[in-house]
Amino acid sequence: MIRLENLTKVFGMPGSGITAVDRVSFDLPAGEICVLLGPSGCGKTTTMKMINRLIEPTSGKIFIDGKDVTHIDPIQLRRSIGYVIQQIGLFPNKTVADNICVVPDLLGWDRRKSRARAAELLEMVGLQPDLFMKRYPKELSGGQQQRVGVLRALAADPPVMLMDEPFGAIDPINREVIQDEFLRMQKTLRKTVIFVSHDLDEAVKMADKIAIFRAGRLEQFASPEHLLSNPATPFIDTFLGSDRSLKLLRLVQVADAMLTAAIVRPGDPVARARELMHNNGQPAIVMLNGEGRPSGIVAASRINGQESAGRGSTAEGRCREVAEPVRVTVPVKADLRSAVALMFTHDMPVIPCVDEDGKLQGVLTYRSIVKSLANSKIAA
Partner 1 sequence: MSDVSVDRIAGAAPRLPLRGGTVGAFKLGRLIPWLVLVIALGTWWFTGDTPEDILTYQEDIVYLGGQHIVLVAYAGGLALVTGIPAGIILSRPVFRRAAELVLQVFNLGSTIPTLAIIALCMTVLGIGTMPAVFGLWMATLLPIVRNTYAGLRNVPKMLIEAAQGMGMTPRQIFWRVEFPNALFVIFGGIRTALSICVGTAPLAFLIGAGGLGELIFTGIALDELPMLLAGIIPTALLAVLTDFVVGLLQYWLVPKGINPLR
Binding site for partner 1 (CB under 8 A): 52, 54, 74-80, 83, 85, 87-95, 102-103, 106, 136-138, 152-153, 162
Question: Closer to partner 1 at the Cβ: 53 or 226?
Answer: 53
Question: Closer to partner 1 at the Cβ: 8 or 80?
Answer: 80
Beta carbon of residue 281, minimum distance to partner 1 (angstroms, whole number)? 58
Give the single-character DSSP code of 171. -
From residue 38, how far is each of 45, 240, 370 by CA, in Å? 10, 10, 28
C-alpha to C-alpha distance for 111 and 292, rounded to whole angstroms: 57
Contact at 8 Å (CB) between 155 and 119? no
Q: What are phi and psi of 109, to 5 degrees?
A: -65, 155
Beta carbon of residue 78, minimum distance to partner 1 (angstroms, whole number)? 3
Question: Closer to partner 1 at the Cβ: 54 or 262?
Answer: 54
Question: Closer to partner 1 at the Cβ: 56 or 321?
Answer: 56
Beta carbon of residue 137, minimum distance to partner 1 (angstroms, whole number)? 6
Beta carbon of residue 28, minimum distance to partner 1 (angstroms, whole number)? 19
Amino acid at 300: A
Query: In three state form, how does the secondary structure of 325-344 look?
Result: CCCCCEECCCEHHHHHHHHH
Q: What are phi and psi of 270, to 5 degrees?
A: -60, -30
Question: Closer to partner 1 at the Cβ: 85 or 177?
Answer: 85
Beta carbon of residue 75, minimum distance to partner 1 (angstroms, whole number)? 5
Find the DSSP H helices in 16-155: 44-51, 74-79, 96-100, 102-106, 111-124, 129-132, 142-154
